[in-house]
Structure 1
């Protein structure tokens, strides 16, 4: 799958969004009690200049649940029931009470003790991490996505997002628990951050889906 899931081209950088914080959860299965279609993720991290794998890099992912809620920020996210996520800052601005930065936005100070759908893994010698999660839900103003952050040493070297083919989104959202929510307003071709290179290569399995993508990071931060 990796041969069809990306090249050595530098992965596009995006904002980390308003709901990132260090959840301190090194784990492969991040589902906890969240219902949804099982999604297994395989991500390969490599150097964008040399194409060599990046071992011992920390890869964090986080995303909303089937109701559009983010753990640690349930009050702010509120499922995106009207307009942009509640509590989201103006574009490019930090949320109140945040600390640290990544791609121009400050880290969130959590407002609840939930940590579902957040986790980190360390890349293998081949630069690979694997996660088990559920297919993300949606909220108004954004297409379906998973946030990803790559650390090498103490540096954040890539902040990006993983996205999904819309035919697959439609198929997943036709089933429970997603089907209970209607009114999705933003799709890939309308999303301001979407790029084709962010699309996961997804295959259907008997008990869910498997998604893969190559992430090409720039550890020396020279833009190549």
Structure 2
């Protein structure tokens, strides 16, 4: 079983961690051609220039125990696919598929931050949050934890979040030193948010199920959003894909 399949387990967090320790991350052996070496050099330079992503509010629906429910100690949270609820819950979040890829880089050194843990969450296509919103207090979908790989990446399979009244479309995340320490909110080292580009949001919100988002998006901007209005350059994801096949949002996160 790979790290990407960890959503299948339900034997407790201690079991989750022990399983992860036994997994070997497979690296790709690249060629030693001039082109490959040049690409590696450019990547290293790019990483060295990374700035720390701005610290942002976790908002009212973190599910980390700081404001009501705490999902961090629930077995099954360490997973890649966050579209389904886990444990005793069985709900499934519907919407346009979105793969979320974050690459953690230590801003002070420019080196990849491997072995750190990212707890990520966001609203569904109706603008509601599991654990908190009416009818969803028993659900825990669109929440998950991943450990950064040897190259700094964490990847989540999700759905495109809604735009709800007063907020620009976004994704929340917290960074922890390790999976073992990702069970207590007091251990987090960073909290931030990912902004989604306007052109992609416009395309998604024309599709079935996102009707309210189209209206809400027209009434908010990055300049008026209470989180991104002071700057969003380091938080704006690069998004590719289509409404037919789904999208991939990618962001380098300096920690």
TM range (shorter): 0.7 to 0.9
* TM-aligned CA deviation for residue 186 of structure 1: 1.9
Given that 1:144 and 1:187 are in contact with CA atoms closer than 8 Å, whether structure 2 keeps it comes out as: no
Mapped pair 1:213 → 2:227: no
Which shifted more, 49-58 or 6-15? 6-15
Could you report, residue by residue, the CA deviation over 1:165-220 in whole angstroms, capped at 9, with x for unpaired residues? 11111111000111255530322222121112211011115510111111111xxx
* CA RMSD of superposed structures (Å): 2.0
Larger RCO (CA within 8 A; separation ≥ 6): 1
Task: Calculate the TM-score normalised by the size of structure 1.
Answer: 0.75
Corresponding residue of 1:68: 127
Structure whose CA Rg is larger: 2
Corresponding residue of 2:147: 122
1:175 to 194, 207, 220: 207
Task: Give the Cα–Cα distance (whole angstroms) in 1 for the partners of residues 141 and 215 of structure 2.
Answer: 24
Moved over 6 A (4+): none
User: 1:186-205 alignment to 2 at 5 Å?
Assistant: 186-194=220-228, 195-205=232-242
Q: Matched residue pairs, number?
A: 180
SS in 2 for 1:188: coil
Whose helix fraction is larger, Structure 1's or Structure 2's? 2
Task: Calculate the TM-score normalised by the size of structure 2.
Answer: 0.66
Structure 1: tracts of 5 or more residues without a match: 79-110, 218-224
